[in-house]
């Protein structure tokens, strides 16, 4: 009898059920009026008196185990049913899924990448935390160069200087250090300047840098590439290059596009001239090539840099640069239709 009781105890411990019907069948088998325990208690009458105490305890234990098992299985199965009830009306139509939208900075960045990749430019990236060499010195901006003041810098460490890059031109240097000409690359990225925040300026913004190095690259190549870009990006085919100064290019220029004077807004954004400045550019200074171990007697190249926010503001008539970073859903939602 002891062996049978132990076997039944194992059976109870191993039992599991996934429906209430199975639990009920199990209850009837063990605890029902003609169940196993009933039989065992009947047989118990004939047990030798010296064993009665021990076997009686085992039998009680067996009954308790069966009862506990049944209760706990019932409990968990019933609770599951409760959870199912919380699903509510399963025949109700689904709530529509809100479609997200790309951020205007991403939209414009991708457009620029797309346009330049069609004429063979690849995309390259560099770190946002830079050293002095890549952000300034290698770009022909040695220590104490007055042009360093053009870009108010956030410094992280002094001597040696570690800083947040002030422009994506730093990626030019990194790219030239790792790749030999011919080079055709654009480098989009985030840049940082210690400037007062206003409707037109922010301390964090985005730029795209372009770099083209090969033998016999001339200013005419630069102009053609820019003309192609402005046609594709803005649908405008009149540009002008105004002489300017950047330490890393010689000669340097600023690029204006003829925006037109058709609407009142055109008058406002072009200050009545019809012209809009969109980027800086020039022929890479021989010193910059030398700093990246490229022989300026063999190679020449052009570079350009533009602000993504500025272009997005023009394209989408966004009046305040701060709107890009506030993540106001009413602003962002307006770019849903643009991919």
135 and 148 in contact (C-beta within 8 Å)?
A: no
Choosing from 109, 134, 167, 310, the residue that interacts with ligand DAH (CB under 6 A) is 167
> Smallest distance from the beta carbon of 279 to ligand DAH, in angstroms?
7
Four-point Cα dihedral 305, 233, 106, 331, nearest 10? 120
Mark the segment that binds ligand DAH (CB under 6 A) among 92-100, 216-224, 277-285, 322-330.
277-285
Choosing from 278, 305, 311, 321, the residue that interacts with ligand DAH (CB under 6 A) is 305
When asked if residue 280 is in the footprint of ligand DAH (CB under 6 A), the reply is yes
**Which residue has 């234990």 as its token pair?**
61
C-alpha 123/C-alpha 104 separation (Å) is: 19
Using omega within 30 degrees of 0 as the cis cutoff, is the peptide bond preceding 182 cis? yes
Pairing, β 300-307 against β 239-246: unpaired
> Smallest distance from the beta carbon of 234 to ligand DAH, in angstroms?
19
> Smallest distance from the beta carbon of 207 to ligand DAH, in angstroms?
6
Number of residues in contact with ligand DAH under rule CB under 6 A: 11
C-alpha 166/C-alpha 94 separation (Å) is: 48
130 and 174 in contact (C-beta within 8 Å)?
A: no
222 and 249 in contact (C-beta within 8 Å)?
A: no
CA distances for 164 relative to 86, 148, 228, angstroms: 52, 14, 32
226 and 163 in contact (C-beta within 8 Å)?
A: no
Nearer to ligand DAH, 58 or 169 (CB): 169
Nearer to ligand DAH, 30 or 136 (CB): 136
Residue 264, token pair as written in the block: 């009142």
Nearer to ligand DAH, 192 or 304 (CB): 304
Choosing from 282, 285, 294, 310, the residue that interacts with ligand DAH (CB under 6 A) is 282
Mark the segment that binds ligand DAH (CB under 6 A) among 1-9, 46-54, 72-80, 302-310.
302-310
Nearer to ligand DAH, 104 or 301 (CB): 301
Backbone angles phi, psi at 265, to 5 degrees: -60, -40
> Smallest distance from the beta carbon of 199 to ligand DAH, in angstroms?
19
When asked if residue 153 is in the footprint of ligand DAH (CB under 6 A), the reply is no
Nearer to ligand DAH, 40 or 303 (CB): 303
Half-sphere exposure of 212 (CA within 13 A, CB side): 24
> Smallest distance from the beta carbon of 126 to ligand DAH, in angstroms?
13
Nearer to ligand DAH, 230 or 249 (CB): 249
When asked if residue 109 is in the footprint of ligand DAH (CB under 6 A), the reply is no
**Which residue has 């964090």 as its token pair?**
204
**Which residue has 């083209």 as its token pair?**
212
Mark the segment that binds ligand DAH (CB under 6 A) among 2-10, 125-133, 298-306, 329-337.
298-306
> Smallest distance from the beta carbon of 305 to ligand DAH, in angstroms?
2
Packing angle of the helix pair 219-234, 104-117 (nearest 10 deg): 130
- Residue whose C-alpha is closest to residue 11's, from 42, 32, 38, 36: 36
Choosing from 246, 259, 275, 299, the residue that interacts with ligand DAH (CB under 6 A) is 246
> Smallest distance from the beta carbon of 278 to ligand DAH, in angstroms?
11
Nearer to ligand DAH, 59 or 141 (CB): 141
Residue 313, token pair as written in the block: 């503001």
Interface with ligand DAH in residues 176-235 (CB under 6 A): 209
- In this structure, the number of other CB atoms found within 10 A of the CB of residue 157 comes to 10
For ligand DAH, the binding residues (CB under 6 A) are 167, 169, 209, 246, 249, 280-282, 303-305
């Amino acid at each position: 009898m002891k062996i049978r009781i132990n076997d039944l105890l194992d059976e109870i411990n191993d039992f599991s059920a996934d429906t209430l019907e199975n639990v009920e069948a199990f209850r009837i088998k063990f605890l029902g009026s003609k169940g196993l325990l009933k039989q065992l208690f009947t047989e118990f009458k004939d047990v030798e008196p010296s064993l009665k105490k021990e076997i009686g305890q085992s039998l009680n234990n067996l009954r308790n185990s069966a009862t506990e098992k049944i209760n706990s299985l019932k409990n968990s199965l019933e609770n599951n049913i409760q959870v199912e009830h919380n699903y509510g009306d399963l025949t109700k139509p689904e709530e529509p899924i809100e479609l997200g939208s790309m951020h205007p900075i991403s939209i414009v960045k991708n457009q620029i990448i797309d346009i330049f990749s069609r004429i063979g430019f690849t995309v390259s990236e560099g770190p946002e935390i830079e050293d002095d060499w890549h952000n300034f010195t290698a770009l022909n901006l040695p220590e104490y160069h007055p042009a360093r003041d053009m870009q108010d810098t956030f410094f992280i460490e002094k001597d040696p200087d570690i800083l947040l890059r002030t422009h994506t031109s730093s990626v030019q240097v990194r790219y030239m250090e790792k790749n030999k000409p011919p080079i055709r690359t654009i480098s989009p990225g985030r840049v940082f300047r210690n400037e007062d925040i206003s409707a037109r300026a922010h301390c964090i913004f985005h730029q795209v840098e372009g770099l083209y190095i090969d033998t016999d690259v001339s200013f005419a190549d630069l102009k053609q590439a820019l003309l192609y870009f402005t046609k594709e990006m803005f649908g405008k085919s009149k540009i002008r290059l105004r002489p300017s100064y950047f330490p890393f290019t010689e000669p340097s220029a600023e690029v204006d596009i003829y925006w037109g004077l058709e609407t009142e807004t055109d008058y406002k954004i072009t200050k009545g001239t019809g012209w809009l400045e969109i980027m800086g550019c020039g022929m890479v200074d021989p010193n910059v090539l030398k700093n990246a171990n490229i022989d300026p007697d063999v190679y020449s190249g052009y570079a350009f840099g533009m602000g993504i926010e500025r272009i997005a503001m023009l394209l989408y008539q966004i009046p305040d640069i701060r709107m890009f970073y506030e993540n106001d859903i009413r602003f962002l939602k307006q770019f849903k239709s643009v991919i």
